[in-house]
């Protein structure tokens, strides 16, 4: 393995680990309880940001591990399987849509709220399965606030760091796959 490839792997693993820790902290310790038993957190902002700034695999790993652990340790263990799907889809959708629209100056940012909507829909299904439709409607409103707030914060982070790309920002394997499939 050449030193450039090794450096790239080290940077990606380091950033994934850093984001995993930050996402866990944002989920577990910066949580604001909802009246219905759930809680508002900033994990979505960091998951969407990581998907676009670093890549989908890093976002999926950091987001699913951190948020499902926060569910388990925070007393919401029944939600952990749904969290894995919700946060994984959120990161993947953010990356794919953003990448497909990457040449559109402003339109590419539509990926951020769309990714949050995938998170909201996943939890909506979880609420129906676990608590019924009425609870699903009420809780999804809180998730909508969280998701859109997360998309806005991710947008701010991406704009703030647009002139500071990671040293490994060259066309990733995932970008090559997406490019092949959709172009």
Q: Are 59 and 94 in contact (CB under 8 A)?
A: yes
- pLDDT of 51 > 60? The answer is yes
**What is the C-alpha to C-alpha distance for residues 145 and 107, in angstroms, rounded to an integer?**
21
Distance of CA 121 to the CA centre of its chain: 14
Round the average pLDDT of the chain to a whole number and report it: 90
Kindly indicate the confidence band of residue 37, based on its pLDDT and cuts at 50, 70 and 90: confident
Q: Pick from 83, 62, 60: which is nearest to 71 by CA?
A: 83
The per-residue pLDDT for range 117-168, each reduced to its tens digit, is 999 999 999 999 999 999 999 999 999 999 999 999 999 999 999 888 766 5
Identify the CATH number of the domain defined by range 3-28+42-182: 1.10.1760.20
**Mean pLDDT calculated for residue range 96-119:** 95
């Amino acid at each position: 393995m050449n030193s450039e490839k090794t450096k790239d792997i080290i940077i990606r693993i380091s950033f994934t680990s850093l984001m995993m820790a930050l996402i866990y902290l944002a989920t577990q310790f910066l949580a604001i309880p909802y009246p219905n038993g759930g809680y508002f957190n900033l994990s979505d902002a960091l998951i969407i940001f990581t998907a676009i700034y670093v890549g989908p695999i890093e976002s999926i790993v950091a987001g699913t591990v951190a948020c499902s652990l926060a569910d388990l340790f925070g007393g919401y263990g029944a939600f952990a399987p749904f969290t894995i799907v919700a946060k994984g889809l959120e990161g993947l959708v953010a990356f794919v849509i953003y990448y497909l629209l990457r040449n559109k100056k402003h339109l590419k940012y539509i990926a951020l709220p769309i990714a949050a909507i995938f998170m909201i829909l996943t939890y909506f299904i979880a609420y129906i399965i676990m608590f019924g439709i009425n609870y699903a409607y009420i809780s999804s409103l809180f998730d909508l606030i969280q998701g859109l707030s997360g998309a806005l914060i991710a947008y701010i982070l991406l704009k703030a760091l647009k002139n500071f790309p990671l040293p490994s920002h060259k066309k990733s394997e995932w970008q090559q796959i997406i490019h092949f499939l959709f172009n």
